[in-house]
């Protein structure tokens, strides 16, 4: 059964010229073939922008929503992103940069990160921002040592002109 107003990658509903975005829309997922309702602010902002752009006559395609939850409980931040359940075919990877009193597991499928779950400091939760582009771009990290920050830095240096080394 569908959970929201189904849209294609341009946020157009089954009625031509009628668009939906945000919490009411069942949008393409960054990870799954099936579309999903992710009642999240970033998904609402991005899908709304795509809908508006297409409504205005330009063509824009949504790269897909990635679910993410961050909760603060006293001094502890608990967060998850993407697929964080240890299901069949999923391997877990602990980041060597994580302090001993905090928990951080990255889940991979075939060497490609598909999600993460953590409990620790808010700085640790910010690490999910580093992981997100690797999940979205389906970067194979299986052969890398368990250091998320160095893998991410390498990815940014290779793929984002702003991070290219000078000289
Ligand atoms: C308590 C709470 C905490 C949240 N925390 C987070 C968070 O930490 N991180 C995060 O990413 N997301 C969070 N969210 C989710 C985030 O707020 C929503 O995903 C986002 O606001 C969705 O935007 P939207 O424009 O699709 O819908 P909404 O923000 O719900 O906007 C819909 C608007 O339509 C109006 N409306 C409804 N019916 C009609 C009508 N018939 N005619 C005219 N107007 C109408 C409503 O009044 C409303 O203003 C939280 C949500 C809640 C409720």
pLDDT in tens, the chain (167 residues): 889 999 999 999 999 999 999 999 999 999 988 999 999 999 999 999 999 999 999 999 999 999 999 999 999 999 999 998 888 888 888 877 788 899 988 898 988 889 999 999 998 888 888 888 889 988 887 656 466 667 776 776 776 665 554 44
The 3-state DSSP class for residue 132 equals helix
Query: Do 136 and 92 belong to one domain?
Result: yes
DSSP run (H or E) holding 119:
strand 112-120
Q: Give the per-residue pLDDT at 166.
A: 45
CA distances to 78, 82, 157 from 65, rounded to whole Å, are 20, 9, 24
Q: Tell me the residue range of the domain where 14 lies.
A: 5-55
Beta strand 5-6 pairing with 25-26: parallel
Task: Compute the distance from residue 4 Cα to the ligand 1 centre, in Å.
Answer: 14
49 lines ligand 1 (CB under 6 A): no
Classify residue 108: in a domain, yes or no.
yes
Query: Do 74 and 145 share a domain, yes or no?
Result: yes
Output the domain CATH number for residue 139. Answer: 3.30.390.30
Atom number in ligand 1 closest to CA 39:
19
How much is the pLDDT for 99? 85
Q: What pTM does this model have?
A: 0.84
Distance separating alpha carbons of residues 98 and 128, to the nearest angstrom: 13
Is ligand 1 within 6 A of the CB of residue 39?
A: yes
Examine residue 61 and state whether it is found in any structural domain, yes or no.
no
Report the nearest atom of ligand 1 relative to the CA of 24. Answer: 26
Q: Determine, yes or no, domain membership for 60.
A: no
**Residue 78 Cα to ligand 1 middle (Å):** 23
For residue 23, give the ligand 1 atom closest to its CA. Answer: 26
């Amino acid at each position: 059964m569908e959970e929201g107003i189904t849209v294609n990658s341009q946020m157009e509903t089954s009625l031509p010229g009628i668009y939906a975005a945000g919490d009411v829309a069942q949008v393409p997922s960054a990870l799954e073939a099936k579309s999903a309702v992710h009642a999240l602010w970033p998904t609402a902002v991005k899908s709304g922008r795509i809908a508006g752009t297409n409504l205005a006559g330009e063509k824009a395609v949504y790269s897909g929503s990635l679910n993410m939850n961050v909760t603060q409980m006293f001094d502890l931040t608990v967060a998850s992103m993407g697929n964080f359940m240890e299901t069949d075919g999923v391997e877990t990877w602990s980041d060597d940069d994580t302090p001993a009193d905090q928990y951080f597991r990255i889940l991979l499928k075939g060497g490609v990160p598909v999600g993460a779950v953590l409990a620790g400091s808010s700085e640790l939760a910010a690490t999910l921002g580093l992981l997100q582009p690797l999940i979205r771009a389906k970067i194979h990290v299986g052969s890398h040592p368990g250091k998320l920050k160095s893998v991410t830095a390498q990815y940014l240096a290779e793929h984002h002109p702003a991070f290219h080394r000078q000289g």
